[in-house]
């Protein structure tokens, strides 16, 4: 039997006989002595085959990378000059007494310590990619995070309850993944986008503290931080106020970072309202490591002759904002052009700027193609509000507020990281007081900014019908270094309020009954005040590990085209399976006729 893991051997085991199992990381023949670096999930240890041990030596001569071995040997100190302090086992080696090949291996498509492997190859051979020390470390960290969360929640009275994977398709949110029913022909299950409704029903059921580390599914366009299936830490509790929920969850995240990655997050986390975050940072998930802020100028530009600024200032939903880059005057024309192209991604039609060369010279000390369109008073106000200094560069955004916020918000982050304005460390915060609704211009109706079950803020219930654009919610997001890692809210626990929200969202009574009758009925049976939050486990781990992609912290992820290169899923199914489901495939619009 195995007595030890390879990566756990050190001087404590000197002169002991041990048995190891693992994979050949490297085999080195030094002309008479063969070294085998044996690797398992805990790391690797150097073993040495002496020619005096004929059987072991002859076996070692035939061994290649990634063979699976059982090795028994004696732990001894490495000779002087061969110690490797970067390894836990770096002061010792194992003198092999017996060696057994448990399985051979083809030559792998890459070395396990190679960092320059294409992602496509890594995903195609994921079972080999997961042997790499970096991936082993990531998944071990994932385990530690999950365990730390479970311990904290258990100590605070939360109960782990599973909710269904096959459920009902509901409107709002992203597209559902649909599962046809063979028994109920023409009917479909949906894979859950979250356990939202079930965890609310658990509150009605009297399980006043619930949690689940669960898989969720969303059929949406993918990015580096998204997957069609992902894992969230799902939490719900009754009888706690918004502040109490936030304080408890903040405590959990602080405890998690301290215990798992030895990082002490501040206490308490700062809070920004949604309006403050958008006004100052152009984003509801601001990266506070970057001190740059947007400066409001809409009121200044209503009388200027520069048409782009004036028209934006006159729009009901328009905004003009500035972004001062300290000492940004050193940026070249090409860099400015590149940033202009960058903001175009977000719908910005241009990127006006002023270079502040010498303030003491007045207008002559400024450089900009738009100066001739601005009054001296307007320029003075711009310089005063931005607190401009010699050598600074001021960028401007002027358009619909949504475009300005997204464009300048993204530019702020990009410049902040590219030019050294970002501070090191971890900067968490809460964003609160979200609007209840956002306008869907294409469908000309309101959509829930969080989800339709979010409670309106105190005193805002009457606005749901009369002024839905002004209604605020009891929603809260936890943001860390510019990424939303958790989002939650106090829920609606009264049927009449829930019905009003459905009406504001243009969900008819008929549709509400069809989709949510079980919830509306449950709210009439003594539903307690309740609220909760869901944290993105994959996203938290991506940040903790410094991984470039969320795929690096998931054992078997999908590509950005929602495909599994390992199993070649999704795949086709045969006609018999389709017939059992009464499904007939139409012509693929992407296939040539």
143 is in an annotated binding site: no
CB atoms within 10 A of CB 503: 15
In angstroms, the CA 152 to CA 133 distance is 28
**Residue in the block written with tokens 């459920």:** 167
537 is in an annotated binding site: yes
539 is in an annotated binding site: yes
In angstroms, the CA 123 to CA 129 distance is 7
CA-wise closest residue to 274 among 496, 489, 591? 489
450 is in an annotated binding site: yes
538 is in an annotated binding site: yes
Structure tokens at 467: 């002024």
In angstroms, the CA 233 to CA 244 distance is 18
Contact 129, 135 (CB under 8 A): yes
- SS3 call for 520: helix
User: Counting beta carbons within 10 angstroms of the beta carbon of residue 262, is it exposed (0 to 12), middle (13 to 18) or buried (19 or more)?
Assistant: exposed
526 is in an annotated binding site: no
For residue 301, give the DSSP letter. Answer: G
Count Cα neighbours of 370 within 13 Å in the Cβ-side half-sphere: 23
Largest CA distance in the chain: 94
Element (H, E) at 54: helix 54-61
227 is in an annotated binding site: yes
SS3 content of the chain, % helix, strand, coil (to 5): 35, 25, 40
In angstroms, the CA 439 to CA 437 distance is 7
Cis before 466 (ω within 30):
no
272-292 burial, b if ≥16 CB within 10 A, otherwise e?
bebeebbbbbbbbbbbbbbeb
220 is in an annotated binding site: yes
**Residue in the block written with tokens 């609310």:** 200
CA-wise closest residue to 268 among 280, 249, 250? 250
Strands 43-49 and 34-40: antiparallel
Q: What CA dihedral angle connects 347, 482, 280 and 437, to 10 degrees?
A: 70
- Terminus-to-terminus CA distance in the chain, angstroms? 62
172 is in an annotated binding site: yes
Q: Tell me the DSSP string of 403-430.
A: HHHHHHHHHHHHHHHHTT-PPSS--EEE
Structure tokens at 195: 């356990």
Element (H, E) at 40: strand 34-40
Contact 192, 164 (CB under 8 A): yes
CB atoms within 10 A of CB 359: 14
61 is in an annotated binding site: no
CA-wise closest residue to 112 among 35, 24, 205? 24
- Cα 301–Cα 304–Cα 308 angle in degrees, nearest 5: 75
3-state secondary structure 73-115: EEEEECCCCCCCCCCCCCCEEEEEEEEEEEECCCCCCCCCCCC
The number of residues making up the chain comes to 593
Binding-site positions: 172, 218-220, 227, 450, 484, 491, 536-539
Binding-site positions for L-aspartate: 172, 218, 450, 491
Binding-site positions for ATP: 218-220, 227, 484, 536-539
């Amino acid at each position: 039997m195995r007595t030890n893991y390879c990566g756990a051997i050190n001087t404590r085991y000197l002169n002991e006989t041990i048995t190891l199992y693992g994979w050949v990381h490297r085999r080195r023949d030094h002309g008479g002595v063969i070294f085998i670096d044996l690797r398992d999930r805990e790391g690797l240890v150097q073993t040495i085959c002496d020619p005096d041990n004929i059987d072991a030596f002859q076996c070692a001569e035939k061994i290649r990378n990634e063979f699976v071995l059982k090795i028994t040997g004696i732990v001894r100190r490495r000779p002087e000059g061969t110690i490797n302090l970067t390894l836990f086992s770096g002061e010792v080696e194992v003198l092999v007494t017996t060696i057994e090949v448990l399985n051979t291996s083809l030559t792998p498509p890459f070395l396990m310590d190679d960092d320059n492997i294409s992602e496509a190859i890594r995903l195609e051979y994921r079972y080999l990619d997961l042997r790499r020390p970096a991936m082993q470390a990531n998944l071990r960290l994932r385990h530690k995070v999950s365990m730390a969360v479970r311990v904290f929640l258990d100590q605070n009275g939360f109960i782990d309850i599973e909710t269904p994977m096959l459920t009902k398709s509901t409107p709002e949110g992203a597209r559902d993944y649909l599962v046809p029913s063979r028994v109920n022909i023409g009917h479909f299950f949906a894979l859950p986008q979250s356990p939202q409704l079930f965890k609310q029903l658990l509150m009605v059921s009297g399980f006043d503290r619930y949690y689940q580390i669960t898989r969720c599914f969303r059929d949406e366009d993918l990015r580096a931080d998204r997957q069609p299936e992902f894992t969230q830490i799902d939490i719900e509790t009754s009888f706690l106020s918004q502040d109490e929920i936030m304080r408890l969850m903040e405590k959990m995240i602080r405890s998690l970072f301290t215990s798992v990655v030895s990082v002490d997050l501040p206490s308490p986390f700062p809070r920004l309202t949604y309006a403050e975050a958008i006004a100052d940072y152009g984003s509801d998930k601001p990266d506070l490591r970057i001190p740059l802020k947007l400066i409001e100028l809409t009121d200044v530009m209503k009388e200027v002759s520069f048409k782009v600024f004036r028209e934006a200032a006159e729009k009901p939903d328009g905004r003009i904002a500035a972004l001062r880059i300290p000492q940004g005057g050193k940026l070249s024309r090409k860099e400015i052009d590149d940033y202009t192209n960058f903001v175009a991604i977000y719908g910005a039609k241009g990127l006006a700027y002023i270079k502040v060369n010498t303030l003491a010279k007045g207008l002559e000390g400024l450089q900009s193609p738009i100066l001739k369109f601005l009054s001296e008073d307007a320029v003075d106000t711009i310089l005063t509000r931005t607190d401009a200094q010699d050598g600074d560069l001021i960028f401007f955004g002027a358009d619909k507020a949504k475009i300005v916020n997204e464009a300048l918000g993204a530019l702020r982050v990009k410049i902040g990281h590219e030019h050294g304005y970002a501070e090191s460390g971890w900067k968490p915060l809460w964003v609160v007081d979200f609007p209840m609704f956002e306008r869907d211009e294409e469908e000309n109706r309101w959509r829930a900014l969080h989800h339709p079950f979010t409670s309106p803020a105190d005193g805002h219930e009457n606005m749901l019908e009369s002024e839905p654009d002004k209604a605020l919610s009891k929603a809260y997001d936890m943001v860390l270094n510019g990424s939303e890692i958790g989002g939650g809210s106090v829920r609606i626990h009264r049927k009449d309020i829930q019905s009003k929200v459905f009406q504001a969202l243009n969900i008819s009574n008929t549709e509400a009954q069809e989709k949510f009758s079980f919830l509306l009925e449950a709210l009439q049976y003594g539903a307690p005040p309740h609220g909760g939050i869901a944290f993105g486990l994959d996203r938290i781990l991506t940040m903790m590990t410094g991984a470039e992609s969320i795929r690096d912290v998931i054992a078997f992820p999908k590509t950005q085209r929602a495909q599994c290169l390992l199993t070649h899923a999704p795949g086709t199914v045969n006609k018999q399976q389709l017939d059992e489901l009464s499904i007939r495939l139409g012509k693929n619009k992407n296939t040539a006729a």
